[in-house]
Amino acid sequence: MRVVLEAAARSEMWEAAQFYDDCREGLGLEFLAAVEQALEWIRRHPLLGSPLKRPFRRVFLHRFPYALVYAVEEDVAFVAAVMHLKRKPGYWLKRTTGGQS
């Protein structure tokens, strides 16, 4: 399974990593490692993420209040959001799958 981070999700990931690194040097790298771990989990088990509004699913990050929101289309999982769990729910719903943001 191929996993693709859409542009908006990639921006959210880098913004969060910068925030955590500003809090404590090296914490941003730990956040990015947690994202990579979740991406690998999606690669291996794409249909096991918690279902959200169809066609989206989510996988929670270890140690951080974030989840990856993604949709599976054929052999590709498109990550639409790197979502902070306290942010307004559903803000990412306007995003489409297929590499468009």
pLDDT in tens, 38-63: 999 999 999 999 998 889 999 999 99
**CATH architecture of the region 2-88:** 2-Layer Sandwich (3.30)
8-40 pLDDT, tens digit each:
999 999 999 999 999 999 999 999 999 999 999
Q: Taking the domains of the chain in order of start, what are their residue ranges?
A: 2-88
| Residues 67 and 48 sit within 8 Å (Cβ to Cβ) | no
Return d(Cα 45, Cα 73) in angstroms, integer: 14
CA 32/CA 20 separation, integer angstroms: 10
Global pTM?
A: 0.88
CA distance 31 to 14: 10
pLDDT, position 90: 72
